[in-house]
Chains A and B, each alone.
Chain A
Amino acid sequence: MSRLTNDQIGRQAELEAAVALSRPVGAPHKRPLFRATFLGDKYPTVDLIVDVLGANDAARGFFFVQVKGTTIDSPALPRLPVEVASERFNRLARLSAPTYLIGVDVVAYRTFVVAAVRPRRAKVSGISKAFPLGDDRVKLKLYREVLAYWAANRPLLLATEFADV
């Protein structure tokens, strides 16, 4: 097989991330907790907007994701070797909504998530493998974290200048 182009790695990585996020978890939920929408090449900073799903696929909140794929991971490496320029990472971290970076090994089909919460001076050169999306427990923690964020911030929009009277 010929070497993958950067575009092929990027597209496969986004799909791997969307599939891993949406893979149904076990009891008691027994359904997908997340559904990703692809934002396309022209949208800066963010690759996926991910709805947090209640029963019947209804969205209860969302978060933003930047996805980075790699073909050079190895089980011996403690961190997934993905690179993100500090400028691009910091644009994600500064958004006023939950933001995460998902790294994807497109050869072994493994995905890992980390939060993008603090701006950095140096580029990202790897991410932790502590939070694999193949693990239901990781997805349940992510689910609770994002729902807690939206439960705490929901009242903000009640004070609007644009009420439909």
Chain B
Amino acid sequence: MSENRLPAEVETGESHYPEWRGLLLAELALARVPELLVHKEPPHATPGFRYDFLVATPDGFCFFVEVEAFSSTELRLKEVESSDELRWKIDAPSIRLAKRSRSPVVLFLFDADTDHGRYLRLDTLPTSAAKARNTVKLPATNTINPTNLRRLVSELRDKIAS
């Protein structure tokens, strides 16, 4: 097993494929949790709606998913999956929009080269008004897999209920 490593700063590059492959990886990750109902919104189908997926449970709880992706090959990063945390820059307006949502908003971040992904809830993050972009931290404990996604859904539901 790989040792945990220092945080890795990740960002979009010039390659085109992380964008479409990230969406594909997110859809597959959600399909691997078959009890979730997943609605994919075609780009620009609804003006003002900016999330990639609406995810619901059969009893009506729902949350939004925003997908981002990067190429570890382009960034020359090795063993991204063993980094203690991935750091991703996100626009302050995106966080403010998420905070206005009545349903939770979750960021899915994927390495389009290794399929490794992590998640982070956006609507409860603090925002710095002075900064146009905020760096968010995605810890290794938030690795996207069926077990962790079930835990995420359970935690989101508990917090909404309380």
Report A's interface with B, CB cutoff 8 A. Answer: 1-2, 4, 8, 11-12, 15-16, 18-19, 22-24, 30-32, 35, 56-57, 109
Contact = CB atoms under 8 A, between A and B. Distances in A.
B20 interface: yes
Q: How many interface residues does chain B have, given as a range?
A: 10 to 19
A11 B39 CA distance: 13
A36 to B, nearest CB: 8
B147 to A, nearest CB: 11
Contact of B31 (A12, A30, A56): A12
Contact of B24 (A1, A19, A24, A31): A19
Contact of A12 (B21, B32, B112): B32
Contacts of B17: 22, 24, 31-32, 35, 57
Interface of B: 15-17, 20-21, 24-25, 27-28, 31-32, 34-35, 73, 112-113, 115
A35 B73 CA distance: 18
B115 A23 contact: yes
A24 B111 CA distance: 11
A67 to B, nearest CB: 13
Given A1-B34, A24-B73, A24-B113, A16 B28 contact: yes
13 contacts: A1-B35, A8-B34, A12-B32, A15-B24, A15-B28, A18-B24, A19-B21, A19-B25, A19-B28, A24-B73, A24-B113, A35-B17, A57-B17
Contacts of A32: 17, 21
B78 to A, nearest CB: 13
